[in-house]
């Protein structure tokens, strides 16, 4: 989609849709509605609001024809509730305009605030709302609608701050959609080698370096836990390290992603119902790739690394077994308890590698536990860190991005449940506190890094749309990570 800034008047801008946000049904209490109603003449807008029962509630959409009173063909009013008059309303506006578009190809948006944040939020909303995963549709099932262009009506289209806002909105919106498409891709096509090839190809386009190890190189490095999970699969694993390192960067953040392109549960086989969506078990890797690509597009002056371990977890003749013991890249030995708790094994070797990169922070994204979904539901991710400052910074970034996280405890009283009678560690604890013991296990391999684990099992893949999140892969996590990086830059400037 082409998104541009325009100084055209809303009265004269030529578009299929002229869009405005509102938090009320009272035309005379909203300046934008008042001006729009006056331009349309008579009581056409007020009558439509009354007839359609529009109240300004979040997500309500009112469409009416302009009947030649404006240069635009249609007027669309999007309910934004208590966010009326705030930059956050711009994202709601963009999202619902894109969702409402059928045969309409162009839109002009009256922003709730004439500032860079509104421009950014509108761009993110437009790109997110227009997302469709249609790769495998053919013939009449191939979608033919959708917005092709959108103008954001501003007072000064040459304002550098507004241009930067548009660049950021596009970068984040596109990166989120990249993550969505990776998660939605079927596992017969998105294998570990295919995921690694995608990461390397996209990195090259943006000046991001990418190192990809095949199975032999992973063996040579000593990543025995990653290799253990891979043993049941006929498809080789991959290990990926992407680096955005702009000249003069003084801060470095290393993101680690779980890249299970399919998880059958291994010998501890999942039931069919639980297996059907396990293509999504590489969402952590998709988020991690998206973060680096967005940082590069925005040219953030901060070093951003992505470390990804990718494999399938299958039940072949050589599959790893409960009771097996394997060494790790870290050196600790690990007793296998449940082969369906494979993600933490892959992450353990990835974290041991990541901690040696010397970043200010090491942060992983992983669809790790059903226990986290039981605790927090589908739409909120679990945040685990013993570092109070890091956790608070990240929660603030989440508030700015509109993504939902909740900090859960790194309860040290549960760490003894990971002790094994025959190895250094068991990779699962007791039946209780599963999300917490998973985080504690990962922390064993992060060393002295300022470490945070993000369990995105719930919001990374949804059975049905919720708020800004679509059905299927959601790209949840990319937006917060970028806001976190920007926050580090702001604190450094202070």
Query: 489 and 399 in contact (C-beta within 8 Å)?
Result: no
Query: 17 and 101 in contact (C-beta within 8 Å)?
Result: yes
Domains of the chain: 14-130 (3.40.220.10), 180-493 (3.40.630.10)
Q: Per-residue pLDDT averaged across 257-276, rounded?
A: 97
Predicted confidence band of residue 41 (pLDDT cuts 50, 70, 90): confident
Predicted confidence band of residue 492 (pLDDT cuts 50, 70, 90): confident
Predicted confidence band of residue 94 (pLDDT cuts 50, 70, 90): very high
Query: 56 and 80 in contact (C-beta within 8 Å)?
Result: yes
Predicted confidence band of residue 142 (pLDDT cuts 50, 70, 90): confident
Count Cα atoms within 13 angstroms, Cβ side, for 424: 11
**What is the DSSP code string of 296-346?**
HHHT-SSEEEEEEEEEEE---TT---TT-EEE-TTS-EEE-S-TT--HHHH
Whole-angstrom Cα distance, residue 469 to residue 403? 10
Question: Among 39-43, 188-192, 288-292, whose mean pLDDT is lowest?
Answer: 39-43
Name the pairing type of β-strands 17-22 and 106-110: parallel
Active site (annotated) includes residue 270 = yes
Q: Where are the beta strands (DSSP E) in 314-450?
A: 325-327, 333-335, 361-366, 381-384, 405-407, 425-426
pLDDT tens digits, one per residue of 300-326: 999 999 999 999 999 999 999 999 999
Question: Residues, the chain, total?
Answer: 494
Whole-angstrom Cα distance, residue 89 to residue 76? 14
Consecutive H or E run containing 258: strand 252-263
Question: Considering only CA atoms, which of 315, 322, 319 is closest in space to residue 338?
Answer: 322
Active site (annotated) includes residue 180 = no
Question: Which residues, listed in sequence order, are joined to residue 327 by a DSSP beta bridge?
Answer: 333
How many whole angstroms from its chain centre is CA 290?
A: 7
Torsion of CA 462, 464, 470, 476, to 10 degrees: -20
Which of 73, 148, 163, 270 is catalytic? The answer is: 270
Q: Per-residue pLDDT averaged across 38-66, rounded?
A: 93
Predicted confidence band of residue 64 (pLDDT cuts 50, 70, 90): very high
Whole-angstrom Cα distance, residue 350 to residue 344? 10
Q: Per-residue pLDDT averaged across 153-178, rounded?
A: 98
Consecutive H or E run containing 166: helix 160-184
How far CA 97 is from CA of 78, 93, 130, 254, 440, in Å, comes to 8, 6, 9, 36, 43
pLDDT tens digits, one per residue of 319-355: 999 999 999 999 999 999 999 999 999 999 999 999 9
DSSP code of residue 113: S
Looking at residue 381, what is its pLDDT? Answer: 98
DSSP code of residue 148: S
- Residue 494 reports pLDDT greater than 80: no
Count Cα atoms within 13 angstroms, Cβ side, for 175: 29
Which of 120, 279, 344, 380 is catalytic? The answer is: 344
Helix (H, G, I), strand (E, B) or coil at 494: coil
Question: Considering only CA atoms, which of 489, 483, 465, 472 is closest in space to residue 98?
Answer: 465
- Residue 145 reports pLDDT greater than 80: no
Whole-angstrom Cα distance, residue 467 to residue 231? 40
Whole-angstrom Cα distance, residue 273 to residue 425? 31
pTM of the complete model = 0.96
The angle formed by the CA atoms of residues 346, 349 and 351, to the nearest 5 degrees, is 105
Helix (H, G, I), strand (E, B) or coil at 469: strand
Looking at residue 104, what is its pLDDT? Answer: 84
**What is the DSSP code string of 207-225?**
T-EEEEE-HHHHHHHT-HH
Tokens of 18: 């002229």
- Residue 246 reports pLDDT greater than 90: yes
**What is the DSSP code string of 23-64?**
S-S-GGG-HHHHHHHHHH-TTHHHHHHHHHT----TT-EEEE
Q: For 133, phi and psi rounded to 5 degrees?
A: -95, 100
Predicted confidence band of residue 42 (pLDDT cuts 50, 70, 90): confident
Looking at residue 143, what is its pLDDT? Answer: 80
What distance, in Å, lies between the first and last C-alpha atoms of the chain? Answer: 36
Whole-number average pLDDT of the chain = 96
> Quick one: how many helices (H) and strands (E) in the chain?
15, 19
**What is the DSSP code string of 55-101?**
---TT-EEEEE-TTSSSSSEEEEEE-GGGTTSTHHHHHHHHHHHHH-
């Amino acid at each position: 989609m082409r998104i541009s800034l325009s100084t055209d008047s809303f009265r004269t801008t030529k578009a299929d849709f002229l869009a405005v946000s509102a938090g009320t049904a009272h035309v005379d209490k909203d300046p934008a509605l008042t001006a729009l109603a006056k331009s349309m003449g008579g009581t056409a807008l007020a009558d439509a609001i009354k007839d359609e029962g529009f109240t300004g509630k979040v997500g309500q959409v009112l469409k009416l024809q302009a009947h030649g009173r404006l240069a635009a063909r249609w007027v669309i009013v999007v309910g934004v509730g208590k966010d009326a008059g705030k930059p956050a309303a711009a994202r709601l506006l963009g999202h619902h305009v894109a969702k409402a578009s059928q045969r309409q190809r162009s839109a002009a948006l009256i922003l709730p605030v004439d500032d860079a944040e509104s421009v950014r939020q509108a761009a993110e909303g437009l790109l997110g709302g227009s997302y469709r995963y249609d790769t495998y549709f053919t013939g009449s099932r191939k979608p033919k609608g959708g917005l092709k262009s959108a103008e954001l009506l501003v007072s000064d289209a040459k304002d550098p701050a507004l241009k930067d806002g548009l660049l950021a909105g596009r970068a984040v919106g596109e990166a989120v959609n990249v993550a969505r498409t990776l998660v939605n891709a079927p596992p017969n096509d998105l294998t570990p080698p295919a995921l690694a090839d995608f990461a390397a190809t996209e990195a090259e386009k943006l000046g991001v370096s990418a190192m990809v190890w095949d199975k032999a190189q992973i063996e040579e490095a000593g990543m025995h836990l990653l290799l253990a999970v891979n043993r049941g699969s006929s498809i080789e694993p991959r290990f990926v390290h992407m680096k955005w390192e702009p000249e003069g960067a003084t801060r470095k953040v290393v993101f680690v992603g779980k890249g299970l392109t399919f998880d059958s549960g291994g010998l501890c086989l999942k039931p069919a119902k639980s297996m059907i969506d396990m293509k999504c078990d590489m969402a952590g890797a998709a988020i991690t790739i998206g973060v680096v690509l967005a940082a590069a597009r925005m040219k953030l002056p901060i070093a951003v690394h992505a470390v990804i371990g990718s494999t399938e977890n299958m039940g072949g003749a050589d599959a790893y077994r409960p009771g097996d013991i394997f060494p790790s890249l870290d050196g600790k030995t690990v007793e296998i308890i449940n082969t369906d708790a494979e993600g933490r094994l892959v992450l353990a070797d990835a974290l041991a590698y990541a901690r040696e990169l010397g970043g200010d922070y090491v942060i992983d994204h992983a669809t790790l536990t059903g226990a986290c979904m039981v605790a927090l539901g589908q739409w909120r991710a679990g945040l685990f860190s013993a570092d109070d400052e890091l956790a608070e910074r990240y929660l603030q970034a989440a508030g700015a991005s509109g993504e939902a996280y909740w900090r859960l405890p790194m309860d040290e009283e549960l760490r003894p449940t990971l002790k094994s009678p025959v190895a250094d560690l068991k990779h699962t604890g007791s039946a209780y506190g599963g999300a917490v013991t998973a985080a504690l296990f990962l922390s064993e391999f992060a060393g002295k890094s300022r470490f945070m684990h993000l369990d995105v099992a719930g919001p990374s893949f949804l059975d049905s749309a919720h708020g800004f999140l679509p059905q299927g892969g959601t790209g949840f996590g990319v937006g917060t990570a970028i806001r976190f990086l920007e926050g580090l830059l702001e604190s450094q400037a202070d």
